[in-house]
A = this chain, B = another copy of it.
């Protein structure tokens, strides 16, 4: 790890994904990927970026999240009809959703036991299996 070039990892990640490492992509990548798994909406990420002094428009945040998702760096999670969430954890895993606060949390590995899946209808293939456990009650 090269401590003199704090962006080298992010740059490499973007290059591998075929994305030009621009100022705003780098800054967003740093926010997204360098503090563990994150579940975040475009609006929230935009706010966080501005607070961190990064000049970036909301439109660019949306574009960037979709580009990262298309490149396989993130996944989009659908749990709330009014807002899109993006997840930096691209491994197969499932979620707790705190209905009252709108917060998403990973279910620790092995939390949902292996399940028997049905045969997909003819002509189709399973792309992804999402399990969402909706929770009532106080967020932690």
Q: Which of A's residues lie within 8 Å of B, judged by CB?
A: 76, 78-81, 84, 96, 98-99, 105, 107-108, 111-118, 120-140
Contacting pair A140 B120 (CB below 8 A)? no
Oligomer: number of copies: 2
Give every chain B residue within 8 A of A99 (Cβ-Cβ). Answer: 127
Contact across chains for B126 and A133 when beta carbons are under 8 A apart: yes
Chain B residues positioned under 8 Å from A129 (CB to CB): 131-134
Is the beta-carbon distance between A121 and B108 smaller than 8 angstroms? Answer: no
Q: Which residues of B contact A136 (CB under 8 A)?
A: 124-127
A113 to B121, CA, bound (A): 17
Query: How far is A103 from B11 in the complex, measured between Cα atoms in Å?
Result: 39
